[in-house]
A and B are shown apart, each in its own frame.
Chain A
Amino acid sequence: MQFLEDTHYIKLTRAGDMQAFGTLVQKHQRLVYTLALRMLKNQEEAEEAAQDTFVKVYQSISGFEGKSKFTTWMYRVVYNECLGRLRKTKRHFSLVEDIVENSDEPVDFLDGLEILHREERAALVKKGIEMLNPAEAAALTLFYHEDQSIKEIAAITGSSESNVKVQLFRGRKHLENNLKKLGNKELIGLL
């Protein structure tokens, strides 16, 4: 499906065209849902959070001034929505250090990961991201997948740029460690 610029749909939505907003949702639903899922780790809740995000976007689209990119503004809404849900349920996540400490590390893990088939590696990376804490998972997703700059991520998360850099650094380290742990079985068989 071919999409036009966001500004086109925003203009039509402001004029009361619901179909235009529906198209805007279709354009961004995958990215919003992905970010929600990476943070909440639950498909149903992520879908609900993504839907609520779009409802909030619709409600405040008239106030969108266009000073930042529409996607940056939208990611800020979904980030805060997920953060609110996490705070409500007071969920705790297992520390990655605790998981990794007990794992046996292969000798050359990164090369080993390259040996894996693309699909196997993708599944492994997904699991690895799932084990990250929400803030790190969001930072990595926004930086690597959505190609957001550090400045934009800082605007989305409401953190300072230095904080985002720290989150990215820690997220990378933790993801590597998670992948090492998760990939042990597969790689031992291959190496």
Chain B
Amino acid sequence: MKNEESKALDPMKRWISEAGTETPGNQFHLSVLKKIEALPQPKTVYSPVISPLGWKIILGFITSIFVWSIFFVPAQAKNSSLFDKLPPLKLPAFNLQLNNLAFSSPDLSPNLLLGIAAFFIMGLLLIVGTLRNKQAGL
């Protein structure tokens, strides 16, 4: 308080106040904004490790496991699975006979077909993922 009073009475304070502030050019603040706009943008663009599509696939996979476990797995040993209720897939029999040579026809059960389908879906996901990574690299 005492310092403030002595400062107010100080002739030096009055003289320097009288000298006033200096004024920069009229376009000063516009020049500042231009400089800011001209700043280089950061080159590194951070993308999430798991893309939104990836999250959707993961969510779909978890949901499918959940649905599968609810509807397709029999609750008790005596109960029949929904797989058993699926109509059997009848593929045309491979019937080629050459000099008494017979080819065996594969028994494509629903479980095997599901496994084959899952294998191809996984393979497709791997290919799509690789292609996306290559594009990101470019």
Contact = CB atoms under 8 A, between A and B. Distances in A.
Interface secondary structure of A, over-half rule: helix
A42 B86 CA distance: 90
B36 A126 contact: no
Nearest to B38: A55
Contacts of B24: 29-30, 33, 46-47, 50
Contacts, number: 80
Given A122-B18, A141-B16, A144-B17, A26 B23 contact: no
A37 B13 CA distance: 19
Given A51-B35, A55-B36, A144-B13, A31 B21 contact: yes
Contact of B15 (A21, A50, A55, A125): A125
Contacts of A59: 39
Interface stretch (B26-34, B52-60, B88-96): B26-34
Interface secondary structure of B, over-half rule: helix
B23 A126 contact: no
A30 B21 contact: yes
Sort chain B's interface into a size bin.
Answer: 20 to 34
A33 B28 contact: yes
B25 interface: yes
B50 interface: no
B32 A122 contact: no
Contact of A37 (B7, B17, B22): B22
Interface string A87-125: 000000000000000000000001001000010011001
A175 B10 CA distance: 14
Sort chain A's interface into a size bin.
Answer: 20 to 34
Contacts of A122: 15, 18-20
B33 A126 contact: no
Contacts of B36: 18, 21, 55, 58
Nearest to A50: B24
A22 B27 CA distance: 11
A164 B28 CA distance: 31
Interface string B2-17: 0000010011110111
Interface of B: 7, 10-13, 15-25, 28-33, 35-36, 39
